[in-house]
Amino acid sequence: MSQNMKLWLRAANPFTPPRGMAEAQRAARVGAAALAVGAVQGLAGLPTVSEKMGQSAALMMEGGAVPPSDQAMFEGVMTAMAPVMVGGVVVMSAVYLVLAVVQWRKMTWVIPALMLALLAYSLVSVVNGFALLGENAGQLYGPLAIVQWIIMLATGFLYAAAVRGGLMLSRLKRSF
């Protein structure tokens, strides 16, 4: 393994503090890589959005969450929501990429901290979804979702390393 790769891996470790300005910069830039991974991850899930919307609707109707008188309207709304969801994913991926560029250039702690907060919210939402769906959760959350959650957790570690690097850079800038 090259020396440069070792330096990047050390910077990406959220459990070791940066040893200097160069390592803090690398650590902060790891957040940009995590944002790029998040953008790609969002786009990778696009082919399954319509299918998941249909599965969600079917589970809600089976469970009695939608009264029979409202089922036709509910199906229409769910059909219309699929393209909106696809558009939302594309827009969010673009936002992630813009934030990745900003993080690479500015090396701040704010963007990774915000992403950590959003990641925590997302994980709480997933746990809540499992609790609400109960035994039906396996029908909605397949192997792709599990892989995506693992990637989300990995990016969470990278965001934590980026926060540490950004905070150290902030402290170093204030001391000059």
pLDDT at 65: 64
Instruction: Please give the radius of gyration of the chain, using alpha carbons only, rounded to the nearest integer.
Output: 20
d(CA 79, CA 76): 5
Per-residue pLDDT tens, the chain, 176 aa: give them: 799 999 999 999 999 999 999 999 999 999 999 999 999 998 988 877 767 776 766 666 666 666 777 677 777 777 778 788 889 999 999 999 999 999 999 999 999 999 999 999 998 988 887 787 777 666 667 777 788 889 999 999 999 999 999 999 999 999 87
pLDDT at 139: 64
Q: In this structure, what token pair is assigned to residue 112?
A: 């990774």
φ/ψ of residue 15, rounded to 5: -95, -5
pLDDT at 46: 81
d(CA 1, CA 58): 50
Q: What is the DSSP letter of 14?
A: T
Report CA torsion sign: 146, 149, 154, 155: positive
Residue type at 81 in one-letter notation: M
82 contacts: CB under 8 Å, gap ≥ 6: 49, 50, 53
What is this structure's pTM? 0.82
d(CA 57, CA 50): 11
Residue ranges per structural domain of the chain: 24-43+88-175
Query: Nearest CA to 86 among 55, 40, 50?
Result: 50
